[in-house]
Amino acid sequence: MSSTFFTTDDGDIILRAGPESGPKHDFRAHKFILALASSVFNDMFTFPQPPDQNQNEEHQLPIVDVPDPPEVLDAILRFIYPGVGLPKFTNLSIVSTLLSAADKYDLASMSPVLRENLKTFLYHHPFEVYVIASRFGFLEEMREAVMVSTPRSILQQDYEEVTQRVSGVDLYRFVRFVQAREQGGLSRIEDLLEWTHIQDNSGCGHLEDAKEFYCSLSKEVVDAFVRNPCAEFEGLVMVLNKILDPPLGCKPEPHSAEFYAYGGSEAELGCPLLPAAIRGKLNQVAQDLDGVNRRLLGEIFGEGTGSG
């Protein structure tokens, strides 16, 4: 389970990991290295040791009982010792446990690596990442997690369990943001994609013929936003692909004889004005929604720290 590095004969202390009533696992370590890495270990070794302290019978080494599970102590030592591979972060539980251990043993060097690994779970477990970030006061990770969250993120959680894992203040922040973003986003979409705006800006003389097409496209934008309100700019711009074939009906501008000689047909051209107007509005919608998100982040989360 642990690296053979932690069973070498040159260690001068044995860390015995495991719960009081459960199986134990011994790790051979070096006081000097542990003390350099952690003020907690340094203080532990500075205190006078009782004369009846447990010792390893074979090597006469002091034994320090550590209540952490063996896999946790193994990971801690991998962070402390140079040249030993870091553990694999396969789930959020181990990341959260190691963040607690980093606080417990005052291992500041662990936090930056663990925070980066926390972000790898953002898109699949945004609310869980938010809860962990809240507990440790990681404002940047809280903001990133809420940005990729949807109302479903919290509806899928057990409410009683959630309230035990995150403060009321940060739970309120989360709910307020996802709700305000959806409401503000839908309001902005409805305003910017109002049919009269297209009529005023397209210059097309046959808009009524294209109204059904446009209304259908507007619904696609709304549906895309509701399905994924955290998609921001990129998600909505994908809707632009639906305008590749504009509605027909407007008389195209005259073309040269060469155009028709090479097979050009007025029927294939449709109206070049309406798609341009719609594209402009959709781009404005996407950019405005990005602004809405950033404004809400500032209002709700400010520039302080998580409440822990």
79-137 pLDDT tens trace:
998 777 888 888 898 999 999 999 999 998 899 999 999 999 988 888 889 999 999 99
172-to-137, 138, 167, 288 alpha-carbon distances in Å: 16, 17, 9, 25
Average pLDDT, the chain: 77
pTM (predicted TM-score):
0.74
Q: Are residues 96 and 68 located together in one domain of the fold?
A: no
Kindly state whether residues 109 and 51 are assigned to the same domain: no
Question: Within this chain, do residues 256 and 288 fall inside the same structural domain, yes or no?
Answer: yes
At residue 255 the predicted structure's pLDDT band, cuts being 50, 70 and 90, is: low
In angstroms, rounded to a whole number, what is the distance separating the alpha carbons of residues 188 and 180? 12
Same domain (yes/no): 288, 185: yes
Q: Kindly report, residue by residue over 160-215, the tens digit of the pLDDT.
A: 666 678 888 998 999 899 888 888 888 888 887 777 766 666 666 666 666 777 77
Q: Within a domain: residue 13?
A: yes
Residue 260 lies in a domain: yes
Verify that 94 and 73 share a domain, yes or no: no
Residues 30 and 40 reside in one and the same domain: yes
Supply the angle between the helices 110-119 and 70-80 in degrees, to the nearest 10.
110
pLDDT at 83: 76
Q: Is residue 51 part of a domain?
A: yes
Same domain, yes or no: 113 and 185: no
- Separation between Cα atoms, residue 301 and residue 194, nearest integer Å: 32
193 and 290 within one domain = yes
Orientation of helix 110-119 relative to helix 126-136, angle to 10°: 160
pLDDT of residue 113: 92
**Calpha distance 10→34 (Å, rounded):** 14
**Among 31-40, 49-58, 230-239, which stretch is predicted with the lowest mean pLDDT?**
49-58
Distance between CA atoms of 155 and 38, rounded to whole angstroms? 40
Q: Where residue 8 sits, what CATH number does that domain have?
A: 3.30.710.10
At 164, which helix (H) or strand (E)? helix 159-165
Q: Do 229 and 150 form a contact (C-beta atoms < 8 A)?
A: yes
Residue 176 lies in a domain: no
Q: Are 94 and 118 in contact (CB under 8 A)?
A: no
Domain, as residue range, for 118: 89-166
Directed axis angle between helix 168-192 and helix 139-147, to 10°? 40
Residue 158 counted as domain residue: yes
Which of 27, 57, 87 is a domain's end point? 87
Q: Are residues 288 and 186 in the same domain?
A: yes
**174 domain-assigned:** no
More confident of the two residues 58 and 168: 168
3-state secondary structure 198-234: HHHHHCCCCHHHHHHHHHHHHHHHHHHHHHCCCCHHH
Q: Is 80 exceeded by the pLDDT of residue 217?
A: no
Residue 21 lies in a domain: yes
* Residue 196 shares a structural domain with residue 290: yes
Residue 266 or 201, more confident:
201
User: Which of 30, 55, 87 finishes a domain?
Assistant: 87
187 plus 289 within the same structural domain: yes
Cβ atoms of 2 and 75 closer than 8 Å = no
* Number of domains within the chain: 3
In a domain, 171, yes or no: no
Mark which of 50, 67, 87 sits at the end of a domain: 87
Same domain, 99 and 80: no
User: How much is the pLDDT for 308?
Assistant: 44
Helix (H, G, I), strand (E, B) or coil at 63: strand
pLDDT higher than 50, residue 306? no
